[in-house]
Structure 1
Amino acid sequence: MDSTPHLVATDIDGTLLRDDRTLSARTAAVLARVADQGTPVVLVTGRPIRWLRLVYDQLAAPLPAICANGAVVYDPTTDEVLRADPLAPELLAEVVRRLRAEVPGVSLAVEIVDGREMRHEAHYPLRWDADDEAIRAVQTAEELLSVPAVKLLARAGEQDPDRFTRLVAAALAGLAEATHSSHSGLVEISAAGVTKAAGLAWYCHRINVAAPDVLAFGDMPNDLPMLTWAGRAVAVGNAHPDVLAIADEVAPANSSDGVAAYLEKVFGVR
């Protein structure tokens, strides 16, 4: 990329947010100034829609979001889902059959209603928002798999995340996408072809922005498709080794406002 980017796409957790999941005043101000200058800024995240409010409350204005690793494209100004690409119930059933055969004891959850609600098996370990009324345990597999899901979540105790993701990806090859964005052994599963790159590409086509004109920031393996698709890929300093290996450039860590620091140089904003 030789010219000023026509669009900025950034991951949220571990990239835009600090380790305590807060957005610095500096980063919020820089994102607002870039957008005010006429360059679209898009959040591209594994988060479901219901987790975006925590970010929007810290921004000067809500930003469009590619959620659930590319399965949902969301317009916060109208609270409208522009596009959704879920796992159909029949596909979910086959994915789960393969998972249970490969990983006995696996615990599962699904993001449904475009990521506004979550259903989980009783033994699935909740790490956040356990008291949220949008989260509900189910008693049967039929109930878990009865509606389309924008993301299937799989845990099997504490696992090496890279090794566990490779195991799941091999079991689901040709059927679904498997990736991860955490350090706790959580694998995130989407329909085949659904990635952050695919969701962002759809959005960019909608507003007539080409891939070579996109500047993207990320830190974890679920960011790899987006970073390899974008014209300029920037990893934050705390990124996963696989992300650092493919990045065009490396910005300071998320704890040092790496995205803001990089954008200040590119766009001349403070």
Structure 2
Amino acid sequence: MGETPRLVATDIDGTLLSDDRTISRRTADLLARIRAQGTPVVLVTGRPIRWLDLVYEQLVEPLPAVCANGAVVYDPTTDEVLRADPLAPDILAQVAQRLRAEVPGVSFAVEIGDGRQMRHEAHYPLRWDSDDDAIRAVESVEELLSAPAVKLLARGGEQDPDLFLAVVAGALRGLAEATHSSYTGLVEISASGVTKAAGLAWYCERDGIAARDVLAFGDMPNDVPMLTWAGRAVAVANAHPAVLAVADEVTSANSEDGVAAYLEKIFGVG
């Protein structure tokens, strides 16, 4: 990569957002200035589309997003899904069958409708969105898995997230992708080959931008594919050890505007 990237890609939670889930004015203004100078900025997140408004309302202008760990590419200007790569119902059924055998008491939820709606088993523990009209419990696992889903969520009670991921990934090897982006024992499952790297690569190829010209920021294991794909990978100081291991550089923590601090240095603005 040259000194100045042709595109900036950043994770949201734990990277761009502070621990209180806010974006500082410093960061919001800087992203707008970089875009105004001609460098695209893309959000690359595990979040579904319905959670992006909480981010967009803090930015100067909405940014294009690769959502659901790469399964959805979204244009907020037109409210258009440019690309979706969901898990098909037959694959969802195979995934559920394998995990039921490996993880006693596992429970599931699915992001459907390009991530605008969520369905969950009655015993799936909701930690967010419990009063959202887009969220609904279903009566059977057959109903839950009857429609294509851009992401399947699996919980197995209180688990070490890294150990739980290893169990799930091992059970699903060759069938689907498994990752995690939290410390609550939640594993996120996507269609085979669907990662943040794949979604971002599709977006960049459309605009003729090579991986070597992309600067990417992240903090959690679901960011690792994107960071290993990008020409320059930067971890925030609060990142998971797996991210620190693959990063080319480390900036200050999300609580200290680490993304903004690094971009000010690279673009010579502040």
Matched, 1:246 2:246: yes
Residue ranges of structure 2 left out of the alignment (5+ in a row)? none
Pair 1:160 & 2:160 matched: yes
1:68-217 correspondence to structure 2 within 5 Å: 68-217=68-217
Q: Determine the structure 2 residue equivalent to 1:25.
A: 25
Write out per-residue CA displacement over residues 197-250 of structure 1, whole angstroms, 9 at most, x where no aligned residue.
Answer: 000000000111000000000000000000000000000000001100110000
Distance (Å, rounded) in 1 between the aligned partners of 2:157 and 2:3:
47
> Aligned partners of 1:35, 1:185: CA distance in 2, in Å?
36
Equivalent residue, structure 1, for 2:66:
66
Alpha-carbon distance in 2 for matches of 1:254, 1:3: 23
Q: CA deviation at 1:108?
A: 0.3
- TM-score, normalised on structure 1? 0.99
Shift of 1:2: 2.7
Q: Which secondary structure does the structure 2 equivalent of 1:26 belong to?
A: helix
Give a deviation string over 1:45-86, Cα, whole Å, max 9, x none: 000000000000000000000000000000000000000000
- Using the alignment, how far apart are the partners of 1:33 and 1:100 within structure 2? 49
> 2:175, 2:32 → 1: CA distance?
40
Q: Name 1:258's counterpart in structure 2.
A: 258
State the identity as a percent: 80
Q: Which amino acid aligns with 2:98?
A: R
Q: Which amino acid aligns with 1:16?
A: L
Deviation at 1:3, TM superposition (A): 2.8
Q: How far has the Cα of 1:189 moved from its partner?
A: 0.2
Asked if 1 retains the 8 angstrom alpha-carbon contact of 2:3 and 2:266, the reply is no
- Aligned Cα root-mean-square deviation (Å): 0.5
Whole-Å separation in 1 of the counterparts to 2:240 and 2:141: 34
Partners of 2:158 and 2:195 lie apart in 1 by: 25
| Cα drift, residue 113 of structure 1 | 0.1
- Match for 2:52: what amino acid? L
Whole-Å separation in 1 of the counterparts to 2:85 and 2:18: 30
What CA distance in whole angstroms lies between the structure 2 residues aligned with 1:269 and 1:185?
A: 39
Secondary structure at 1:109's aligned position in 2?
strand
Q: Secondary structure in 1 aligned to 2:17?
A: coil
Note if contact 2:5-2:213 (Cα within 8 Å) is conserved in structure 1. yes
Per-residue deviation, residues 124-162 of structure 1 (Å, max 9, x unmatched): 000111000000000111110110000000001111000
Q: Which amino acid aligns with 2:168?
A: V
Following superposition, the deviation at residue 194 of structure 1 comes to 0.1
Q: Counterpart of 2:193 in structure 1: which amino acid? A: G
Distance 1:152 1:242 in 2: 22
Q: Deviations over 1:165-185 (max 9, x none)?
A: 000000000000000000000
Paired with 2:148 and 2:58, the residues of 1 have a C-alpha distance of 31
Deviation string 1:17-53 (CA, Å, 9 cap, x unpaired) is 0000000011101111111100000000000000000
The amino acid across from 1:88 in the alignment is A
Q: Measure the CA separation in 1 of the matches of 2:85 and 2:267.
A: 34
Which structure 1 residue ranges, 5 or more long, are not aligned?
Answer: none
